[in-house]
Chains A and B, each alone.
Chain A
Amino acid sequence: MSHAIITRKLSHSFAGKQVLNNISFEVQTGEIFGLLGPSGAGKTTLIKLLTGQLRQTDGDAELLGTDTRKLGAPEHRQIGTMMDNFGLYERLSVYDNLLFYADICHVPRGRVTEILKGIRLYESRKTAVSKLSKGMKNRLSLARALMNDAKVLFLDEPTSGLDPATTREIHAILAEQRQKGTTIFLTTHNMFEAESLCDHVALLNGGSIVEYGEPAALCRKYNYLNKLRVTLKDGEVVLLENGSDSAPQIKEYLEQERIAAIHSTEPTLETVFVELTGRGLD
Chain B
Amino acid sequence: MDMVAAIFKRQIKDTCKNKTIFIQFVMFPVLTLIMNKAVKIDGMPDNFFVNLFATMYVGMAPLTSMAAVIAEEKEKNTLRVLRMSNVKPQEYLLGIGSSIWLVCMLGAAVICAAGSYGLREELAFMAIMAVGNFASLLLGAAIGIWSKTQMMATSITVPVMMVFAFLPMLSMFNATIAKMGKITYSVQIGSMLERIDTLHLGPDNMGIVAANVVVFTALFLIAYRKCGLE
B2 sits at the interface (CB 8 A): yes
Q: Are B3 and A86 in contact (CB under 8 A)?
A: no
Give the residue of B5, B14, B84, B86 whose beta carbon is less than 8 angstroms from that of A89. B14
Q: Are B6 and A104 in contact (CB under 8 A)?
A: yes
Question: With A86-B77, A87-B78 given, is the CB distance from A76 to B14 under 8 Å?
Answer: no
A103 sits at the interface (CB 8 A): yes
The minimal Cβ–Cβ distance linking B208 to chain A, given in whole angstroms, is 38
B interface residues, tally (CB under 8 Å): 20
Cβ contacts under 8 Å, A90 to chain B: 76
Q: Are A92 and B14 in contact (CB under 8 A)?
A: yes
The minimal Cβ–Cβ distance linking B23 to chain A, given in whole angstroms, is 14
How long is the Cα–Cα vector from A96 to B9 in the complex, in angstroms?
Answer: 10
Per-residue interface assignment for chain B, residues 201 to 217, with 1 indicating a CB less than 8 Å from any chain A CB and 0 otherwise? 00000000000000000
Cβ contacts under 8 Å, B87 to chain A: 104
Per-residue interface assignment for chain B, residues 143 to 187, with 1 indicating a CB less than 8 Å from any chain A CB and 0 otherwise? 000000000000000000000000000000000000000000000
A268 sits at the interface (CB 8 A): no
Chain A interface extent, by class: 20 to 34
Per-residue interface assignment for chain A, residues 48 to 91, with 1 indicating a CB less than 8 Å from any chain B CB and 0 otherwise? 00011100000000000000000001001101010011111111
B10 sits at the interface (CB 8 A): yes
Cβ contacts under 8 Å, B80 to chain A: 53, 87
A122 sits at the interface (CB 8 A): no
Q: Are A89 and B3 in contact (CB under 8 A)?
A: no
Q: Are A92 and B13 in contact (CB under 8 A)?
A: yes
Q: Are B85 and A76 in contact (CB under 8 A)?
A: yes
Considering only CB atoms, which chain B residue lies closest to A105 in the complex? B85
Which A residues fall within an 8 A CB radius of B?
Answer: 51-53, 73, 76-77, 79, 81, 84-92, 96, 100-101, 103-106, 128, 148
Which B residues fall within an 8 A CB radius of A?
Answer: 2-3, 5-6, 9-10, 13-14, 17-18, 76-78, 80-82, 84-87
